[in-house]
Amino acid sequence: MKIGCHVSASGSIDKAVDNAVERDCSAFQIFTRSPRSWHAKELTKEVIDAFKSKLKASKIDRFAICAHMPYLPNLATPKNDAFEKSVNTLISEVERCAQLGIPYLVT
């Protein structure tokens, strides 16, 4: 059984791995960006590499990691502008998960 929690990625996404290791997690969940904003800071190659390197060193199985969608998207909204933003955010999150090697996304 894998045991974990949602961990902070504040400052840089690779710090999420540090926080999971510090808590002796065998699984963890993160936001890949601020959960309270439509804007997402770009993931640089350096940050992606640091996340993957720390994850590999941690021995936490990458299949025990998931990302969580930000709070703002609503794929069931009847408002066209909000729906478009929501779909674009979902696409962006899927891409960010792919960049980081995270196999699961909670919506």
Return the CATH number at 63.
Answer: 3.20.20.150
Domain tally, the chain: 1
pTM summary value: 0.93
Task: For residue range 20-29, list pLDDT tens digits in order.
Answer: 999 999 999 9
Read off the pLDDT of each residue in 70-98 and give the average, rounded to a whole number: 97
**pLDDT digit string (tens) for 40-49?**
999 999 999 9
Q: Strand runs (DSSP E) across the chain, as ranges?
A: 4-6, 27-30, 65-68, 104-106
Contact 49, 12 (CB under 8 A): no
Domain residue limits at 86: 4-106
Token look-up 């794929």 returns: 75
CA distance 38 to 106: 17
CA 16 to each of CA 40, 45, 103: distance values in angstroms, whole numbers, following the listed order: 17, 17, 16
Half-sphere exposure of residue 88: CA atoms within 13 angstroms, side-chain side = 10
